[in-house]
Structure 1
Amino acid sequence: MAYRSLVLKLHSDRGGDDEQFKRIKRAYEDLRIGKKYPDSIVEKRKSKILFW
Structure 2
Amino acid sequence: MLKNLAHAHTQKFGKGFNVCNLNNMRAFFLAFSIWNALRSKLSWTHYRSFAG
Instruction: Tell me which interval the TM-score lies in, with the shorter structure as reference length.
Output: 0.3 to 0.5
Structure (1/2) with the larger helix percentage: 1
TM (norm. structure 2) is 0.37
